[in-house]
Structure 1
């Protein structure tokens, strides 16, 4: 194989975005050869805008899979259908690249991961923020030991402002049946993934306080404060909302050798000349603290190639065995964090990780049953309704 053929499931906003860069040959050794969507208007959009690209169009999944017109299935359906579409693709012998989030609840994502492992096919997830050199550098400074042992993580991500008119633009928005959550499942999947990926560790337990419809007339969470504890004794805080203006995006990680802050697209390392544990052992002067240097760490190329970068990495993995930057199996990690935050709020208690997946599913179904938007479940939905 010298070229990877790609078929897209769902050509809503994200599907259109993938279509654009693939048809412009912006991913080396890749070719978009097929698209499936149940909405005739979206297929017409492909014909009108990319009719000369020789893309085969389908209006049902069975014909799409039976065509064997591609090697990779790129899943760009609504959240609830990501896992089901991926499992179906694996069963037909295709490699799978799935949009984020991996799903809405970990039980379905675990089934997707199991199907991927059984298939032996390549499996990736569209965590495009992992291509950002800012976060790659932070992960390097932590995993290499430059920061020392992590003591605290703190991410305030409140610049997701959304007005009531945004939520009113579609009855599916911000509903348990339509999206399966609010700011955690819609806006924050990238940050929840980066939170655990850069620190290279998952919490052992979570205590969260989610407010549902605090700032807007919606049924899901729009304001969250979560506290976590790690196995090594470190703690963490994650604060997010869609109802605050102006917002903040500041990610801070403290360790034995200082702290690193990412804010305003810059990475600052407040580097201790002497590690804090050593200083504490040796210093006898009463009041005092380690000498600290403010280091502006150069980061070239931010924000990185984003979606195109993940797709290119996936193609390179298939053709050359290049390690995956965002293995699909890791999608369950960030989702575990958001599920744990919901469950902690619903039970008004700590939640240990791994979470009780059956309990989460049960409580989610209760909310779906009473949701203002009743999702059609008889067949797989193949459209993506709106942007994040």
Structure 2
């Protein structure tokens, strides 16, 4: 089978990283054929790095009509993802998008429909799905080792960012050009893993997002969320870019014990019998607890470069039809959680899932119109 010809849309931090993978020969089964960038310094970098072997376009339309690629990696600011992907699917190209899938679910739903109608391979850069710790956690839950989940807690506050971080790039930290803050930029991976590892989406959400709490920005930089699941389980999700030192601790309790992922380690405290059965059986009063074993759980392989692994997985699916690790359509789930958290804060109320997408979009438009960068919004779609 011939090599997959790949084009990269956007040569920012991630686009450059992906281009280097191809230059270094790390993407087996594919070559970089074209890029899209409007920045002269990026064009010059491509010419020098690839010695004029990669076509350079200043806009997506020209690349789409060139026929010089088979597949596209979209590494542009968030608002661009769905529109560019839809255009690519209509033209018959395979697509890999950067996270998040988009800014609002109405937009992403249209992208998913275009992907389904195209029959092309669609993936999203959820690189943390390649982490052996989360793969093992998902396996333990799916196999029933933890029993029925009744609580999830994730505190991920090790995203500290300085004011200069937000000031360094013009599109960051604006409703008009970025579409959100910590939920849109730093925590999409955790929002994905939260539901991917458990196989559970909340039935309702109550969130408290704080906007510009630690920085001179208009979007959220501190979030605390409480969720309820259909089976009666509850969960808490906390994230921030204003705390140092931060924490990244994911804890799940079930009828057969507790699992914690922290400091690149998975710990499993396994109950000898389900806690509800022990509760029914034990009649002697006092403070006796079920017998518990601290188990050493093996994980398969070392933590690799997840970004590269997702690209390789995507290329392998294009060439050989293997199942995708990170299907693009699943970007809707994490984005739904983020949108619902913001909507809960804006309405000061619970949000039931599936949520009111039109209501969220109405609030977002209000934020965009009052944004100090609202004039740029039209250019981001």
Q: Please, which moves more after superposition, 225-234 or 297-306?
A: 297-306
SS at match of 2:374: coil
What whole-Å deviation, never above 9, does each CA across 1:77-115 have from its counterpart, x for those lacking one?
100100001001011110111110000110100010011
Is the 1:204–1:228 contact (alpha carbons within 8 Å) kept by the matching residues of 2? yes
SS at match of 1:209: strand
Matched, 1:367 2:360: no
Matched, 1:258 2:254: no
For residue 288 of structure 2, what is the aligned residue in structure 1? Answer: 288
For residue 18 of structure 2, what is the aligned residue in structure 1? Answer: 18
Is the 1:134–1:302 contact (alpha carbons within 8 Å) kept by the matching residues of 2? no
For residue 152 of structure 1, what is the aligned residue in structure 2? Answer: 151
Is the 1:28–1:312 contact (alpha carbons within 8 Å) kept by the matching residues of 2? yes
Is the 1:178–1:375 contact (alpha carbons within 8 Å) kept by the matching residues of 2? no
* Pairing 1:1-388 to 2, within 5 Å after superposition: 1-51=1-51, 54-286=53-285, 287-377=287-377, 379=379
Q: CA RMSD in A?
A: 1.3
SS at match of 1:226: strand
* Distance verdict in 2 for CA 1:248–1:113, change over 3 Å: same
Is the 2:6–2:32 contact (alpha carbons within 8 Å) kept by the matching residues of 1? yes
C-alpha distance in 1 between matches for 2:164 and 2:59: 33
Is the 1:171–1:373 contact (alpha carbons within 8 Å) kept by the matching residues of 2? no
Q: Offset of 1:368 from its aligned partner?
A: 0.6
Q: Offset of 1:377 from its aligned partner?
A: 4.7
Larger RCO (CA under 8 A, 6+ residues apart): 1
Q: Offset of 1:189 from its aligned partner?
A: 0.5
C-alpha distance in 1 between matches for 2:253 and 2:3: 44
* Distance verdict in 2 for CA 1:32–1:196, change over 3 Å: same
C-alpha distance in 2 between matches for 1:366 and 1:207: 21
SS at match of 2:216: coil
C-alpha distance in 1 between matches for 2:365 and 2:317: 38
Is the 1:258–1:269 contact (alpha carbons within 8 Å) kept by the matching residues of 2? yes
C-alpha distance in 2 between matches for 1:165 and 1:379: 24
What whole-Å deviation, never above 9, does each CA across 1:41-81 have from its counterpart, x for those lacking one?
211111122226x1111112222111111111110110010
C-alpha distance in 1 between matches for 2:276 and 2:115: 44
What whole-Å deviation, never above 9, does each CA across 1:255-295 have from its counterpart, x for those lacking one?
11101000000000011111112211211221211111112
Is the 2:177–2:376 contact (alpha carbons within 8 Å) kept by the matching residues of 1? no
5+ residue gaps, structure 1: 382-388
Alignment TM-score, normalising by the size of structure 1:
0.95
Is the 1:34–1:57 contact (alpha carbons within 8 Å) kept by the matching residues of 2? yes
Alignment TM-score, normalising by the size of structure 2:
0.97
Aligned residues: 380
SS at match of 2:179: coil
Q: Offset of 1:302 from its aligned partner?
A: 3.7
Q: Please, which moves more after superposition, 372-381 or 158-167?
A: 372-381
Is the 1:132–1:305 contact (alpha carbons within 8 Å) kept by the matching residues of 2? no
Is the 1:7–1:34 contact (alpha carbons within 8 Å) kept by the matching residues of 2? yes
* Distance verdict in 2 for CA 1:226–1:285, change over 3 Å: same
C-alpha distance in 2 between matches for 1:372 and 1:150: 44
* Distance verdict in 2 for CA 1:338–1:379, change over 3 Å: closer
Is the 1:272–1:290 contact (alpha carbons within 8 Å) kept by the matching residues of 2? yes
C-alpha distance in 1 between matches for 2:363 and 2:353: 17
Q: Please, which moves more after superposition, 343-352 or 279-288?
A: 279-288
C-alpha distance in 1 between matches for 2:319 and 2:49: 29
Is the 1:43–1:57 contact (alpha carbons within 8 Å) kept by the matching residues of 2? yes
C-alpha distance in 2 between matches for 1:63 and 1:378: 20
SS at match of 1:297: coil
Q: Offset of 1:2 from its aligned partner?
A: 3.3
SS at match of 2:79: helix
SS at match of 1:253: strand
C-alpha distance in 2 between matches for 1:217 and 1:296: 45
Q: Offset of 1:23 from its aligned partner?
A: 1.9
C-alpha distance in 2 between matches for 1:65 and 1:248: 43
Is the 2:176–2:376 contact (alpha carbons within 8 Å) kept by the matching residues of 1? no
Q: Please, which moves more after superposition, 284-293 or 107-116?
A: 284-293
